[in-house]
Structure 1
């Protein structure tokens, strides 16, 4: 306890704050990179005027709330006020669109990764670049705004991601970590900067629209993990901690996306490693040895926080529908007068799924709260269906929803593993789906037909990952790579708990996927009939 108190007083700590889809989490780590305090704040996106968004007010309310709770825990546990920190890092959901004018005012409401209204722009840019440009990428949103002749386009002085916005307001620096930047615009792996040829093509494309800016003028500068990205200003310190306890001048690492922090949190930045992050959305990141043979609309090419090429399969939907069903069971328990312990309820229902048939017994579900580009949906409708002669049990019901949360991901990963013959020596899982030991992990192993490991730190997630990136910036030795730092100073040989796929579950998941693909017209009909 006294050692931790001394670390806090002397500033030998690192703070990471990540703005996730449903929770903003702050984690403070010590010299050994283990968490010593945390704080959180729950929030939800809003669907307003046809746009999935979060308000700017909620961004700052959430940041201040998560930091305040962390500072309170530091005071309670160690009897010390949090006034200085060795280094800080901010991360958030990747992609989306935040555009600002010269006065720093946001021009249109924040458009998150969840929006799928950029089909025309994404298709046009994919053809122009011969490079997959997904619907949710920032450049797709910008191009679509131009195509739609939105009034605000002429006034853009800067556009960035959520993490880039928070970092800018706290430091004054318009920068972005390369991993997050790779979800705004394609990165050239050799230069580890935006692809210049593609920028030139884009500028030529939009010249007819009389845009008063060039793309490089409004994009954030790209930085690599370990580089200094500025310091906390006086205004920034007050914005993060309105009590005035936190001092300015703290160095801040490059802001990153949740994909990059997930790779860091699972030690998956080296070639032939990979990870799966499963929460509100689900995505898999496989660090490649070489480029893919062709363009696949189901697969994005992004980078690690230190600039290595990554194949990313990103699915918009994962646990939202699953959580909604768990809440129905909660409501039922409350209705009959039972006390509800939510962690236990999740565990009990997840463990029940293990008793189900390997193929879910003829049950089928689609967890599409929003569109799902991997399967070709611009909009989604949560849907459950079953055959007349199915084995309709609670175990199969829960299993079908757990399978569904990974189904679109499996479709994309099958391309990587079966068509491109990509190899991955290690796959790590992290996020809410893996909190119940052995359930989500086992089903993911079955979906991928490869062993999956989950580390003890997986529950800390991206907030811990960005704290580690901040620590790396502050404590790395000369020319020490991120992979070396993670292996030797963070994980030190910890490989987590590995789970091999059960052959029966692999066969069962394949059968479920066949039924899932065959049933996609049902989902399409639901979307069309429930406008």
Structure 2
């Protein structure tokens, strides 16, 4: 769309805003009615460790929101000569989970406890057993119940508990609501009702009564909404909170606030059943949209939902490419010792492609990429390791291949539960993240691990901020009865799926052989953790 046409879209209030609060960056994206990004803004921020709790202050949140929006306004002004005053819709997203508790005067009782905190082990374990449902430590209900177990004084004053995205939406609209995907990181969801699971709510409320706590979950948790529903409008107070200059007008409709998992699914067109997406970078996680709930709960599998309420199984691993990156850096250092300073993109590409020349099973080499602990395989700490037998085929190709494959080892342990034990059917996975930057390499290894076609889009869009903007557009533009998957396919992605690599039979067999050694060798990793303190 040419500059003047975009300027008219902005002038006439037809643009849509999405903003996401990530762990290190707040990102804002403005899109046109077709969902194309036309302007952006960002703000860098960092969590801080205070009293052994990872947190951001309310000042951090508000100043970050305002600075990010101001950057977007400036981008609009510079590109199109327009001042942003009206919008067709907007939406806000944030890091899922965590805990923000408020009293009757809407005062924050304790600093925000983010998803990063691992301080709720006792609560998560007790709740998982009570509900027969895996409650991860980062979930809001685990934080709430741990505060009760700890007999924290603030519990007696709680009137409202929400997440970061829920808080921002509340400040802008006055509405105490969250999207169903975000809610699924607070408490288990009944996907047939798109609401908190009532039988589990009853069990939890009874547990609180036993503890002598006069709280009921539905009275203190936000209302649950689904994609497409209007979740309130921007109030005069909210407009001033977002844009202190006073340019932005109130009355803009907002979509339900969502978590980063839901916006990631939206941004990768992975919300339909039997589809999934895998994000592979420093950490790696895969999400698969299920046709039906799992037969039982697994500690290795987190259950969340799409923004329109379909059940999603998530496998999350702490470690992915950090050790691989360290080895590539070492090879670069070796080249510099010979007087050659390599371009890092070329170095990565060359070494990654070399892996495709290796044996399908890595020639008997074994490695672990555990910079930190890995809950799926039962490790609270990690030690990066490379191991080989005297008769292993020790070549550069096999060395690179084993480090690519082990970066997906823990993920495969979790995915095998879904595919082999639960017989979950997956038609396609969409890959995104640093592992896929070298065309065709990480994608091929992932296809072998998943035994599923892996797609990589040529354009990754604008990530989660773009995803929540698209959800806001869906709320505003959807046709009568049009589902979110239908809208994404027809109006946003237009059938574009990107490049695809089918699983190769030899690669699949080789990965299975590698995993046999991987599981046996966990004893070596265990010994390294215990002995190398």
> In 2, Cα distance between the equivalents of 1:244 and 1:518?
63
Question: Shift of the alpha carbon at 1:433?
Answer: 3.4
Indicate which of 281, 296, 299 corresponds to 1:297: 299
Q: Deviations for 1:83-121, whole angstroms, at most 9, x for unmatched residues?
A: 322111111222222223333333333333333332322
Separation in 1, partners of 2:436, 2:368: 20
Q: Measure the CA separation in 1 of the matches of 2:333 and 2:107.
A: 42
Greater Cα offset, 301-310 or 313-322: 313-322
Do the aligned partners of residues 319 and 136 (structure 1) sit closer, same or farther apart at CA in structure 2, a change above 3 Å counting? Answer: farther
TM-score by length of 2: 0.89
Q: 1:8 to 1:374 in 2, by over 3 A?
A: same
Is the deviation greater in 414-423 or in 145-154? Answer: 145-154
The whole-number CA distance in structure 2 between the counterparts of 1:526 and 1:100 is 44
Which position in structure 2 is the counterpart of 1:178? 180
Partner secondary structure for residue 305 of structure 1: coil
Q: 1:255-270 to 2 correspondence within 5 Å?
A: 255-270=257-272
Alpha-carbon offset, residue 52 of structure 1: 3.8
Cross-structure match for 1:446: 448
1:340 is displaced (CA, Å) by 8.4
How far apart are the structure 1 equivalents of 2:55 and 2:527?
A: 26
Residue in structure 2 matching 1:365, options 364, 368, 372: 368
1:237 to 239, 249, 253: 239
Instruction: Describe the SS at the equivalent of 2:462.
Output: helix
Give the structure 2 partner of residue 206 of structure 1. 208
Per-residue CA deviations over 1:433-465 (Å, capped at 9, x if unaligned) read: 333432332222121011111223435222211
Deviation at 1:528, TM superposition (A): 4.8
User: 1:169-192 CA distances to partner (integer Å, 9 max, x unpaired)?
Assistant: 222221110011011111112221
Q: Does 1:514 align with 2:516?
A: yes
> How many Å apart are 1:472 and its aligned residue?
0.3
With 141-150 and 109-118 compared, the bigger mean Cα shift is at 109-118
Closer, same or farther: CA 457–164 of 1 in aligned 2, 3 Å: farther
User: Is the Cα–Cα contact under 8 Å of residues 429 and 458 in structure 1 kept in the other structure?
Assistant: no
Can you give the 5+ residue segments of structure 1 that lack an aligned partner in the other structure? none
Alignment of 1:74-93 (within 5 A): 74-93=76-95
Which residue of 1 is the match for residue 288 of structure 2? 286
Match of residue 102, structure 2, among 94, 100, 103: 100
2:90 aligned counterpart, secondary structure: strand
When the two structures are aligned, how many residues end up with a matched partner? Answer: 529
Cα deviation per residue 1:300-327 (whole Å; 9 max; x = unaligned)?
A: 2221111112222223444455566667
Report how far residue 399 of structure 1 moved.
4.3
For residues 461 and 13 of structure 2, what CA distance do their matches in structure 1 show? Answer: 25
8 Å Cα contact 1:146-1:153 kept in structure 2: yes
Unaligned segments of structure 2, at least 5 residues = none
Q: Does 1:386 align with 2:415?
A: no
Structure 1 stretch displaced more, 337-346 or 265-274? 337-346
CA distance in 2, matches of 1:508, 1:89: 45
**Residues 419, 229 of structure 1: alpha-carbon distance in 2 compared, 3 angstrom cutoff:** same
Deviation at 1:152, TM superposition (A): 2.5
Query: Equivalent residue of 1:26, what SS?
Result: strand
1:191-235 CA distances to partner (integer Å, 9 max, x unpaired)?
Answer: 211111211111111213332321111111100101111222333
Equivalent position of 2:163 in the other structure? 161
CA gap of 1:325–1:251, structure 2 versus 1, over 3 A, is farther
* 1:490 and 2:497 are equivalent in the alignment: no
Distance 1:155 1:375, change over 3 A: farther
Is residue 469 of structure 1 aligned with residue 459 of structure 2? no
Q: CA deviation at 1:364?
A: 0.9
**Residue deviations 1:272-331 (CA, integer Å, cap 9, x gap):** 222223344432222222222222222222211111122222234444555666677788
For the residue of structure 2 that corresponds to 1:176, the secondary structure is strand
- Once the 2 structures are TM-superposed, how far is the Cα of residue 417 of structure 1 from its aligned partner? 0.9
Matched position secondary structure for 2:407: helix
| 1:297–1:347 distance in 2 versus 1, CA, 3 Å | same
Bigger shift: residues 274-283 or 135-144: 274-283
Larger deviation, residues 464-473 vs 61-70: 61-70
Distance 1:136 1:68 in 2: 31
> How far, CA to CA, are the matches of 1:112 and 1:316 in structure 2?
16
Offset, 1:471: 0.2
CA contact (8 A) 1:22 1:280 kept: no
> What is the SS of the residue equivalent to 2:460?
helix
Q: Taking structure 1 as reference, are residues 141 and 519 closer, same or farther at Cα in structure 2, changes over 3 Å only? A: farther
Q: Is the 8 A contact 1:262 1:430 kept in 2?
A: no
SS at match of 1:456: coil
CA-CA distance at 1:164 after TM superposition: 1.4
Question: For residue 110 of structure 1, what is the aligned residue in structure 2?
Answer: 112
Aligned residue among 425, 428, 442 for 1:426:
428
Computing the radius of gyration from Cα coordinates, the structure with the larger value is: 2
Closer, same or farther: CA 321–57 of 1 in aligned 2, 3 Å: farther
Shift of 1:70: 2.9
Check the 8 A contact 2:383/2:529 in 1, yes or no. no
Secondary structure of 1:249's aligned partner: coil
1:337–1:75 distance in 2 versus 1, CA, 3 Å: farther
State the partner residue of 1:137. 139
Report the TM-score when normalising by structure 1: 0.89
| Contact 1:261/1:466, CA 8 A, preserved across alignment | yes
Q: Is the 8 A contact 1:446 1:506 kept in 2?
A: yes
- When residues 87 and 50 of structure 1 are mapped into structure 2, their CA distance, relative to the original with a 3 A threshold, is same
Question: Any idea what SS the aligned residue of 2:170 has?
Answer: helix
- Deviation of 1:529 after TM superposition, in Å, equals 5.7
